[in-house]
């Protein structure tokens, strides 16, 4: 959602989704904060909201919610419990969709994502809400496209488009699936370093993030 500012410029609401549970010790969160600090300097009237998936109240994806997701596809009515669970899902999607730009910062965990970020994504990806079928029964994303910046960290180094990298490839795929194709990524590898090298590495990475903020 955007609104016109006094000078006719569009004010942006940025959502920062935090995927690391490490708080101030997190490399990916620190890099994203450098990116957003610079973004706010350059766009002082835009707003940034933070969604930490580790402290957010995310409904369990239990049997009721799984049934609620699929019931409309087979013409089944929802039970009152499923309606309540579904309402919570819709509120989560609405918060996400109401932001005009998205930043997702996350470490790689076991070649993919921390489970709490996957949980959040599982809540966002819903038939008839964020994806649907076109006349040819092909999947289409239902969200309006908007800029997404990924800020990703991992200990290991991967070659470009390595089949072992399920972090960048999954995020790019699932965001495209719900309609978000304007996705840029900053990927930082080799993040597990002794203390004396870590600070210098993080300082350089944060500088790269600040530079990238100009194009967001």
Ligand X SMILES: Cc1cc2nc3c(=O)[nH]c(=O)nc-3n(C[C@H](O)[C@H](O)[C@H](O)COP(=O)(O)O)c2cc1C
- Look at the block and give the residue holding tokens 């919610």: 65
Tokens linked to 127? 């038939």
- For residues 22 and 184, which CB has a smaller minimum distance to ligand X in the complex? 22
CA atoms of 165 and 108, how far apart (whole Å): 9
Beta carbon of residue 154, minimum distance to ligand X (angstroms, whole number): 3
Cα 3–chain centre separation? 22
Beta carbon of residue 29, minimum distance to ligand X (angstroms, whole number): 6
Beta carbon of residue 44, minimum distance to ligand X (angstroms, whole number): 27
- Look at the block and give the residue holding tokens 């995927």: 19
- For residues 135 and 160, which CB has a smaller minimum distance to ligand X in the complex? 160
- For residues 122 and 189, which CB has a smaller minimum distance to ligand X in the complex? 189
- For residues 96 and 109, which CB has a smaller minimum distance to ligand X in the complex? 109
Beta carbon of residue 18, minimum distance to ligand X (angstroms, whole number): 9
Sign of CA dihedral 82, 88, 90, 93: negative
- For residues 139 and 198, which CB has a smaller minimum distance to ligand X in the complex? 198
Beta carbon of residue 164, minimum distance to ligand X (angstroms, whole number): 8
Binding site for ligand X (CB under 6 A): 20, 22, 26-29, 107-111, 153-156, 191-192
- For residues 26 and 38, which CB has a smaller minimum distance to ligand X in the complex? 26
CA atoms of 124 and 108, how far apart (whole Å): 20
CA atoms of 175 and 39, how far apart (whole Å): 22
Beta carbon of residue 45, minimum distance to ligand X (angstroms, whole number): 29
Q: Which residue is nearest to ligand X (CB)?
A: 107
């Amino acid at each position: 959602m955007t609104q016109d500012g006094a000078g006719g410029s569009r004010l942006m609401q940025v959502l920062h989704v935090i995927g690391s549970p490490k708080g101030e010790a997190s490399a990916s969160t620190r890099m994203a904060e450098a990116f957003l600090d610079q973004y706010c300097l350059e766009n002082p009237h835009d707003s940034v909201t933070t969604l930490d998936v580790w402290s957010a109240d995310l409904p369990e994806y239990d049997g009721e919610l799984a049934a609620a997701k699929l019931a409309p596809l087979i013409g089944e009515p929802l039970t009152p419990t499923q309606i309540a669970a579904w309402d919570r899902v819709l509120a989560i999607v609405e918060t996400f969709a109401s932001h005009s730009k998205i930043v997702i910062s996350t470490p790689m965990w076991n070649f993919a994502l921390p489970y709490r970020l996957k949980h959040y994504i599982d809540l966002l990806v819903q038939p008839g809400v964020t994806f649907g079928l076109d006349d040819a029964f092909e999947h289409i994303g239902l969200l309006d496209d908007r800029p997404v910046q990924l800020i990703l960290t991992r200990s290991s180094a991967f070659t470009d488009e390595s089949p072992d990298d399920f972090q960048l490839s999954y995020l790019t795929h699932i965001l495209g699936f719900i309609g978000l194709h304007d996705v840029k990524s900053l990927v930082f590898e080799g993040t597990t370093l002794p203390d004396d090298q870590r600070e210098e590495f993080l300082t350089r990475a944060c500088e790269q993030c600040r530079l990238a903020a100009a194009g967001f």
